[in-house]
Amino acid sequence: MSHALKTNPLDELDTLNHYCWMGRRDFVRNFTVLTINADSAGDETIFLAVQLTGTESLIVHHDPSPTALETVRLRARQLGVADRIRLVGGPLLMFTASVLGNPAFSRQGDYGPFDYVRCTSGLNDQDDFERGFSLLLQLLKANGVLGISCYGFYGREPYRQMQQIAESLNADRPDWQEEVDRLKELFPFTPERNWTRLAFDNLAPGVRSMKDDAFAAEFLCKDRYGLTVPQLYELLDRYGLRLAQYSRQTRMLYEPWFARSDQALSDLLERLSARDREAVSEIAWSTIERHQFWAVRESSFRVDPGDTDNVPFFNPLMIASKNWRKAFLDAGPGVLPELLAELTPSEKYNVSIPWGPIPFRMVELIDGYKTLGEIFMLIREERHGTIGLEEIASACIRFLLAVEREDMILLRHKTLSPLPFTARRLAG
C-alpha cells in the first residue's frame, strides 16, 4: 500500500481561497470539510489534512467500503494526520439522511454543515446523480464551496465504446479477472483508426499500465451519466449555484485555443458568453473526461487583484514541479519567454504574459507578506515618482491575471496569516 502524498489542484486550500472566498477564508479555526468517496484510497482527504496541519480543522471522510476506510485510517496514521479526520461508512444516501436528521446539524455539529464539500467519486456510483447532488448541497454552509469531479460527456465516448465491447466479449459472465484479461488482450489489437485507440494513444498512453481494478472501473462498469458543459450549467442554475472556476488540470481545455491561428474566428468565439465558449471548446477538444470545478452560492467569490489590501504569494504547492518565481527572475526584466501550455501531449500553445520592468520588480518584492499596496508604493518610490500608482497597478494587475491561468501567484487578504503549511514553504 502506498502512503505517498498525492496532490490535486482542486484541493489546494490557498487556491480554493483565491477563487471561492475572495482570499478571505481563515482555515485555522472552525473550518470543516466533508469528502465523499467510493472505494477510495483517500488521496483528497489526506492531502487536505496535511495542509491543515497545525489548525483546528475537521475533515469527515465518507466511503461505503469498510476496506477503503481502513486503508485511509492506516495512511492517516502513517502521515500523522489521523487526529483531523473522522471516518464514516454506510450508503451515501443513508449517511446524508442521518446527518440532516441529527439535531446537532443545525448548530454546527461534528457532521455539518460544512465549509467545503468535496465529492471525488461518490456521485459517479449513484443511480440518481441529481438526488445525491441535491443532498450534498443541504450539507453545505450558505457561504460554503462545493468541489466536484464528475464525468464529462464527449471525453468519455472512448470509454463508453470499450464498455460496449466488454459487454459483448464477456456475455458468458466469466470471473472478474478473466473479464479484465480479455479486454486487455483486445485493446492493443484494435485498428489504429479506432476512436478509443486514437484517444488513448494520443492522450492517455498509461492506460495499458493501469492496475486491474482501475482498468475494470473504467472499462467494465458502464457510465451512468455524463454531463456536457450546457448540462453542467443547467444543473448549477437549478440549484442557485455559480461555477467559480475549473481545476487547472483541465482549465485550458474550456478555452478555444484551437482557433488562435484564425483571428476572425478567435474574435467571434471571444464574443460568446463563457458557457457558450466553453461548450464549443469542450466539443472541439473532445478530451475532457471529467469536469473538475468549484461551485458557490455567492455572487462575489473570486479575489480582486486590484485590492491593494491583498497579499500576493507564489503557489507553494507548485514549487516541486516548477519554481515560477525563479523562472521569472531568471528571465530578467526584458522579454519573458511565453508560457508553454500543454493541453495534450500533442497539443501545446504559447500563452503571452504581460512583462516588463514593473512586473519584474513586483515579482522580486513578493514575499508572501507584503500587500499589493505596499509593493506598488515601493516601486513608485524607487522610480522617484516618475511613474504613477495607477500605471504601476495596471501593469501588475495585467500580469497577475495572466499567470492566474496556471495558479502561479495567489492572493489572500492582509487580515489573514498564511496557513502553517504555507508559511513553512514561504520561509523556504
* pLDDT tens profile 36-55: 998 888 999 999 999 999 99
176 located within any domain: yes
Give the per-residue pLDDT at 120. Answer: 74
Domain boundary among 242, 261, 296: 296
Looking at 262, 296, 330, which one is the last position of a domain? Answer: 296
The CATH number given to whatever domain includes residue 79 is: 3.40.50.150
Strands 114-119 vs 140-151: parallel, antiparallel or unpaired? parallel
Does residue 111 contact residue 105 with C-beta atoms inside 8 Å? Answer: yes
The predicted model gives 147-157 an average pLDDT of 91
The yes-or-no verdict on residue 1 having pLDDT over 50 is: no
- Dig out the grid coordinates for 117 from the structure: 464539500
Q: For residue 302, tell me if it sits in a domain.
A: no
pTM for this prediction: 0.90
Query: Do residues 84 and 197 share a domain?
Result: no
Share of the chain above pLDDT 70, in %: 89
Does the residue 255 lie in any domain? no
Strand order in the sheet with 58-62: 85-88, 58-62, 32-36, 114-119, 140-151, 290-296, 242-246
Same domain for 37 and 171? no
Residue 304 lies in a domain: no
- Are 161 and 147 members of one domain? no
Q: Which residue has the higher pLDDT, 236 or 188?
A: 236
More confident residue, 127 or 376: 376
Q: What percent of the chain has pLDDT over 90?
A: 54
Do 172 and 64 reside in the same domain of the chain? no
Q: Average pLDDT for residues 84-93, to the nearest whole number?
A: 88
- pLDDT averaged over the chain? 87
Average pLDDT over residues 213-242: 88
Residues 81 and 194 in one domain: no
Domain boundaries, position 335: 310-426
What secondary structure letter does DSSP report for 296? E
SS3 293: strand
- Max CA distance (Å), the chain: 82
Q: Give the residue, 326 or 92, on which the prediction is more confident.
A: 326
Average of pLDDT values for 87-96? 84
pLDDT for 409 beyond 90: yes
Task: Give the mean pLDDT of 111-126.
Answer: 77
Residues 314 and 397 in one domain: yes
What are the phi and psi torsion angles at 98 (to 5°)? -70, -35
pLDDT band at 293 (very low <50, low <70, confident <90, very high): very high
Do 148 and 244 lie in one domain? The reply is yes
Contact 149, 290 (CB under 8 A): yes
Closest CA to 224 of 147, 94, 133, 285: 133
Q: Is residue 274 in some structural domain?
A: no
Domain count along the chain: 3
Confidence of residue 347 (pLDDT cuts 50, 70, 90): confident
Mean pLDDT value across residues 195-200 = 67
**Cis previous bond, 337, omega within 30:** no
Tell me the backbone φ, ψ of residue 2, rounded to 5 degrees: -85, 135
35/20 same-domain check: yes
Backbone angles phi, psi at 224, to 5 degrees: -85, -25
Residues 316 and 353 in one domain: yes
Q: Is residue 1 part of a domain?
A: no
Are 186 and 244 within one domain? no
Nearest Cα neighbor of 245 from 7, 10, 409 is 10
Which has the higher per-residue pLDDT, 126 or 379? 379
401 & 416 share domain: yes
| 266 part of a folded domain | no
**Cβ(291)–Cβ(298) below 8 Å:** no
239 and 347 inside one domain: no
What integer pLDDT is reported at residue 346 of this predicted model?
Answer: 67
Average pLDDT over residues 143-165: 90
Place of cell 443545525: 106
Q: Which residue has the cell 495572466?
A: 402
Distances (CA, A) of 172 to 166, 178, 217, 299: 11, 11, 19, 54
Q: Give the mean model confidence (pLDDT) for residues 222-232.
A: 89
pLDDT for the residue 350: 76
Instruction: With respect to residue 381, please indicate whether it lies within any of the assigned structural domains.
Output: yes
